Amino acid sequence: MQMGTLAARDTALARLAALPVAVLPAETQRVLVAELNRVHQAIQAGTAPGAPGESEERFGDYYMTLVGVVANVDTPEAALALVPAVSVSGGVARRVAQLGDTAVALLIQQLQSVTQPDDHVALFQSLGLAWFWADSTGSPLSGRSRTQIVAALTAAGLSGVFSDMLGFELALLAIRDPGFLPLAQRVHDFAATQGVLGRSTVVTMEDEVIPKLTLLAASRSPAALASGLARLVTAVCGTDAAGRRQGACQSLANDIAEALRHLTDGQTTPARKGFESAAKKIDNAYADGAFNDAEHALLAGNVAMLLQRLAP
């Protein structure tokens, strides 16, 4: 595995792949991870992972087998090595997503550097899985990571780029957070204006994403929806907002925190007034250029969804 032609490596890998990974010595597992890292470095550098003249088809088979074996190696180093391979399978993407903050940082880095459409689709899906994994298992995911995920998704959904919009669809199917319902609805409306390019997005939003997120929203209490709104405001605003955006974010966060306290105390009327004030501030911030179209749709839609549940 550490030297020789691609054919020799392929033969050695085939023997190893026939065995349960758990019975392989730790050093062998380490060599497999190192080989996957070597292959990825060669691909990213634009150099041939095998010797000149060796079969591209053989390399493709070798790579798929190598990823499959490393995906079963239960070490953090193996999971990190799999980040550039998230497009291979959903299982690989889920394995990577479990790395939390480390995964998000590396996925964003990959998103900014790779150009293959299939890779973009899988990277967005993996970001959605990272959000879902943290929420469903209680694993920590930092505010910075959530900010990076929201920024990536709000940019992708209204990009007009087919692969990015497809990645957005898969991310929202994976994320299972009803707070993203308003953004899904906005992307649906945008895709409907894109003709053939947006048709698949319209269908997926109508048939899968929006119905599933709508059911999830209906299952949440007003307090849970309000907590989700507060988290999304923090994610949209991040920690480096400046100028008008900083002022809008701080004022909005204060209004929502106060309204949430009223709601928790059972004081529905003052809570509703607080969220109505937040809605106006979101609209004003959007008009002033502090929020972009997707951010406005995400935040304003969440407030509207909450106010519907608090109707007098």
Each residue of 190-207: pLDDT tens digit? 999 999 989 999 999 999
Q: What percentage of the chain has pLDDT greater than the value 70?
A: 96
Check pLDDT > 90 for residue 141.
yes
Check pLDDT > 90 for residue 7.
no
Higher per-residue confidence, 50 vs 32: 32
CB 97 within 8 A of CB 105: no
CA distance 41 to 12: 21
CA separation (Å) from 172 to 17, 181, 182, 226, 229?
34, 9, 11, 20, 17
CA distance 255 to 14: 61
Q: What was the pLDDT predicted at 312?
A: 74
Amino acid at 35: E
Q: Which residues contact 109 (CB under 8 A, 6 or more apart)?
A: none
pLDDT band at residue 239, thresholds of 50, 70 and 90?
A: confident
Q: What was the pLDDT predicted at 53?
A: 54
Q: What was the pLDDT predicted at 70?
A: 93
Segment 79-83 shows an average pLDDT of 91
Segment 253-275 shows an average pLDDT of 95
Q: What was the pLDDT predicted at 1?
A: 66
pTM, 2 dp:
0.88
Q: What is the phi/psi pair of residue 112, to 5°?
A: -80, -15
Q: Tokens at residue 87, please?
A: 């497009």
Q: Tokens at residue 152, please?
A: 């990536």
87 CA to centre of own chain: 13
How many CB atoms lie under 10 A from the CB of residue 26? 9
Q: What is the mean pLDDT of the chain?
A: 91
Segment 275-297 shows an average pLDDT of 96
Q: What was the pLDDT predicted at 289?
A: 93
Q: What was the pLDDT predicted at 121?
A: 92
Q: Which residues contact 311 (CB under 8 A, 6 or more apart)?
A: none
